[in-house]
Structure 1
Amino acid sequence: MGQGSSEGTQSGIGVVDKSVAILASVAAAPRALADLVEATSLPRATAHRLAVALEVHRLLARDPEGRFVLGPRVGEFAAALPDPIVTAAGPVLAWVRDECGESAQLYRRDGAERICVAAAERSHGLRTTVPVGSRLPLTAGSGAQVLCAWSDPDGLGGILASAEFTLRTLAEIRKRGWAQSIGQREAGVASVSAPVLSRDGELLGAISVSGPIERLGRTPGQRLAPVLIAGARRITAALG
């Protein structure tokens, strides 16, 4: 990647273009400084200076391994946008969280990734946090399974080649109406997801809950899927 924005364009304002390149790189995956330098082609000192400055402004943060990740302010900016599905999902995710006792998220597909566009986190206790704006692969996790199951198989490209699930699995998920995963994307974490569809049956996203396996158990779908399906229908109804 060059020293421009994620689309390969440049504004002519060097510090802005370089900062956008850093944010785009980190949005794709957590980056140690060396990885950030390689991904952006920026000099090490420049990448470090700008990344630390973005961290001060909460646009970047650090994960437990010290890698740069998107910071909470990115989610705050995203939440401020008048996105109809995000607006509709807000109170529904809070309801799902309260009903299930676990963190709830809404994902959209973006190419070979899924983006968390809205979330309602547990206020206490051990929890799994997926910040708004996070990009996750479509190759693992119940949210990925749902987004793939309700997508055109021809549009899945090379995703299935490295996925933790198969076309047969996706067919079973679509027939059942929900998906679950146990330690598939992240060790020790379980999740359950259901599709959010428009009134015409078009896939809009995936609504999910996630939490520690020790609390959700090995078969969380039987218990939590009805709440997620109801939540998905509430979002559809709110969109009108």
Structure 2
Amino acid sequence: MIRDADPRTKLFIVMCISTLGLFFSNPWMQLTVFFLGLLAAFIFKASLMSSVKRLRKMMSVIVMIVILQSIFVKSGNVVIGTKNFTLITDEGLKRGFGFLMRLLVILISGTIISTCSMRMLVQGLVQMKLPYDMAFMTSVGIRFLPLLMEETKDTFTAIQLKGIDIRNLPLKRRFEIISYVFTPVIAGTLNKAKKLSLSVECRGFRAYDRRTSIIQLKFNRSDYMILAATAMLSLALILVNISVL
């Protein structure tokens, strides 16, 4: 099945999609990369709805950043403004759209990676000649992100239970409370990291120079076909982008 593709295949697709999304500056090319990433996530049966729900919570911040990107870029033709004052230009809108597309491409890349089990992902990184220590730290970092978000959510819930409605506070006071939130979140994260390090040491992590594994990943025919198609499509997009520029 496509969902059971080799983790290295998914990592290669994510690498191509995220690299093209970050380096392309043409809006149409960025939109093309976004739809290709969406297609890849659909093929691998990634959970897009959970990502959409997380993105919806951050939508106000994202919209604000896009607007600021549009406002502070003064080059290009004026879209909204007067003769003496320029508010938004077409170049500013282009920069804001580019930021939004890059953010969505990174989000889709994360959903594709989430279809891999953590054990298989670590094994794939190891077989790609990445040291096991770095592969393990990568997996721990990926696993810690949801915990960090959950810790932040719990802290905001505790503030609301004390009768403080952050949404109705003045902007200055709101930023002060948000800065206070980071202290318990960071403290809780450091505490979890300390417990994890003790657990890893008790299990003899790095007791031997070379670590063996009973799992050995192998490419099948569909993996080779996906890798070849991804490489050719990426090369085609690069050539089209060069011709457009």
User: What TM-score comes out, normalization by structure 2 length?
Assistant: 0.25
User: What TM-score comes out, normalization by structure 1 length?
Assistant: 0.25
Q: Between Structure 1 and Structure 2, which shows a larger proportion of strand residues?
A: 1
Larger radius of gyration: 2
Q: Between Structure 1 and Structure 2, which shows a larger proportion of helix residues?
A: 2
